[in-house]
Chain A
Amino acid sequence: MRQVLRASTAFLVLILSSAGFAAAASAQSTSSPSALPQGANLLNPALSVIGWFQGEAGDQLKEEGSSAFSLREAELGLQANVDPYSRADFFISVSPAEGIDLEEGTLTLHSLPGGLTAKLGKFRGDFGKFNRTHPPETVFADRPLAAERFFGEEGLSAEGVSASWLLPGLPFYANLDGEVTNTPGFDGEPAAFAPYRGKDLLFLGRLSTFFDLSEASNLAIGGSFADGANGPIGIDSLSLPLVDPGALRARVVGADMTFRWKNPRRAIYRSLIAQVELMQRTAETLGGPDVTRTGGYAWGDFQFARRWHAGGRYDWSDNLDAAEAAVATGVLGFLTYHPSEFAAMSAQVRRQKLEGGDKETQIYFKTTFNIGPHGSHPF
């Protein structure tokens, strides 16, 4: 742990001193014509940092390794155009618990013909709505139960290539995404997919649609599909694999719907988001029938004042590992205060009823804050 912290600190110092050097060089260049040309700094990528501090209390703190307060993550963003045809985006998460992790690092080719874009690198899979959002930027202090059980604590993310096609000739927005990536390992946690061999690929497809219902309201409907390896994890460890486990596959299908309302004449004061996401996994097993498990969540967020949001979420999910289908459920409520566009403080309470009947209550205090250039508003 100490080594991880030391490495994280050294990395942060390196990044910040680079930024400091850039700023100093910029200041110097205005006073001294012989200093480093200012253009060198103008071509630096946009650098941003999102901090995520969290306080927790409740039943899960009884688990080993958990703590009441944590700086969960500092997410560094480095973004710039590479040339007239492409853009590079890097998001590096630094956390005391996980160390340094390249969360996303992509080259996006945005100037392809025919409504196409392509992306390569490491990225979060375009499955459903929740998975694409970086953890500090979600409204929740935790992850929905189904998202965590299907795609792990960090979500579905892997190296690979993707193509995105804005379908032409339709009177509404419809976009088709296709991705081929490595099968992610989820740090060995049980999840929807399990890699066995390096060549086991994950194939992902998504259709996203968007409809303006009125000037103030709109509806987004999407469907997702992922097909990947279902390796030895999840197979009864006492039975010897009779066939190559890498040949087993698992498929997850998902559907999501998001309703948004916001009066454009009073955009900063009132808004509503309601979203539901469902997912179902069907996995091949050794010598047995396919196993199907389901999960989902529904949540809503109402902005009732310029700086205040309140909302709740309902969770349900099967345990993917259990021999028999058994569902856990949960509810979460939150009240969030935004001191400005660049910070949020949220008090949240979650109550879960697990498969065995055990009940857990967890209280969170999530604070996020960001520095750097003004990014895009979430939508």
Chain B
Amino acid sequence: MMRRFGGLFRFAGAVILAVAEVGTAHAGGRLHVVTTTQDLASIAMEIGGDRIAVETLAKGYQDPHFVDAKPSYLLKLRKADLFIQVGRELEVGWAPGLINNARNKHIQPGASGFLDASTNVNILEVGGRVGREQGDVHPLGNPHYWLNPENGIAMAANIRDALSRLAPTDASYFQERYTAFEGRLRAKIGEWKKSAAAMGLTGMKVVTYHRSWPYFAEAFGLEVVDYVEPRPGVPPAPRHVQELTAAMKAQRVGLLIVEPYFDPKLSQQIARNAGVPMLVLPPSVGAAPAATDYIRLFDTQLDLIRRALAGGKP
């Protein structure tokens, strides 16, 4: 038996030694960054400039909870120097399996090439009792934190630190770009807040389909009073629809916000019955043609809200 398979073992050994020489180090000087979402990719490009090459796994128009863990993604992850995820279990259904199978020790959790961008971000809905009876809840808090642009600054700082760790000789370059991005973002945040107040968003009651918008509401003064989904990930039953419609009328809700990856038919019906404008609002970079980067995402969102409240077609 040993003689029969001795050749096979020797061949396998030779192959292992040969491929071990290949290594996984990045080539050409540019760090290869892979992000789970286009929001992270946009901020990474702001900080990394021409010193990094960025690829993203999920498109902005996809539901980031439900992305297929396609084996083709492993080709991107295998050569990554830095993997960035939103974290807080947003990608728990697909990213961990990809990382496990990426054959890249540099991007495993705890390694220098793994970044959870939620570090140092003020996370909402943390704590309290957590159970599946509450739906598909995220035990580590609401993960849609990029929708408060103030959190974009903390995310950018996290990315700056990770890139500087991996390419210390470019640290000052990353710092310069971070400073410029922070300045532009802070200036835009001031503009956006004024614009939101001018269009009457401060204190406006809104209903959203999924719990994607508490950070956006926090940033621009909206009050989310209810959801089309009775619990996260649970489709609404007719009774909930009836109660929600009645509550929207009674509470004088100003807007119904729906993410683009949900079927809008039911929301349209609720909005029509409640006499409230409904708006499909892009929650991520790439979810609408105009939302081409992180700053334009908020420009687009506020423009769409303005038009919806004015009775125009979004």
- Which positions in A face B, CB cutoff 8 Å? 81, 84-85, 87, 108, 110-117, 163, 165-166, 168, 172-173, 175, 178, 199, 201, 203, 208, 210-212, 218, 220, 260, 262, 264-269, 306-307, 340-342, 371, 373-377, 379
Contact = CB atoms under 8 A, between A and B. Distances in A.
B260 to A, nearest CB: 7
A117 B103 contact: yes
A183 to B, nearest CB: 12
Interface of B (DSSP majority class): loop
Contact of A113 (B20, B74, B262): B20
What is the size category of the interface that chain B forms with chain A?
35 or more
Contacts of B16: 114, 116, 163
Interface string B84-114: 0000010011101100110101001111000
A307 to B, nearest CB: 7
Contacts of B97: 376
Given A110-B103, A173-B74, A377 B235 contact: no
A113 B69 contact: no
Nearest to A87: B100
Contacts of B313: none
B59 interface: yes
A113 B261 contact: no
Given A173-B72, A376-B93, A264 B20 contact: no
A333 to B, nearest CB: 25
15 contacts: A81-B109, A84-B111, A110-B105, A113-B19, A114-B18, A117-B101, A163-B16, A211-B72, A267-B66, A340-B135, A374-B89, A375-B93, A377-B66, A377-B69, A379-B94
A371 B133 CA distance: 11
Interface in B50-106: 59, 61-63, 66-72, 74-75, 78, 89, 92-94, 96-97, 100-101, 103, 105
Contact of A269 (B94, B233, B263): B263
A341 B233 CA distance: 8
Interface in B146-170: none
Contacts, number: 127
A307 B24 CA distance: 42
Contact of A264 (B62, B96, B109, B233): B62
B63 A116 contact: no
B1 interface: yes
A262 B233 contact: no
A84 B108 contact: yes
A115 B59 contact: no
Contacts of B68: 260, 262, 264, 267, 377, 379
A208 B78 contact: no
Sorted nearest first, the 10 A-B pairs with minimum C-beta distance are A114-B19, A111-B105, A210-B71, A377-B93, A376-B97, A173-B71, A115-B103, A113-B20, A267-B66, A374-B92
B12 interface: yes
B136 interface: yes
A342 B67 contact: no
B69 A168 contact: no
A113 B71 contact: no
Contacts of B239: none
A210 B12 contact: no
A376 B262 CA distance: 21
Contact of A114 (B20, B74, B75, B108): B20
A377 B94 contact: yes
A89 B101 CA distance: 14
Most buried by B among A108, A265, A306: A265
B132 interface: yes
Contact of A173 (B22, B75, B235, B262): B75
Contacts of A168: 19, 22, 78
B123 to A, nearest CB: 17
A87 B109 CA distance: 12
A210 B101 CA distance: 15
B93 A113 contact: no
Contacts of B101: 110, 117
B235 to A, nearest CB: 6
Contacts of A114: 16, 18-23, 103
Contacts of B12: 163, 178
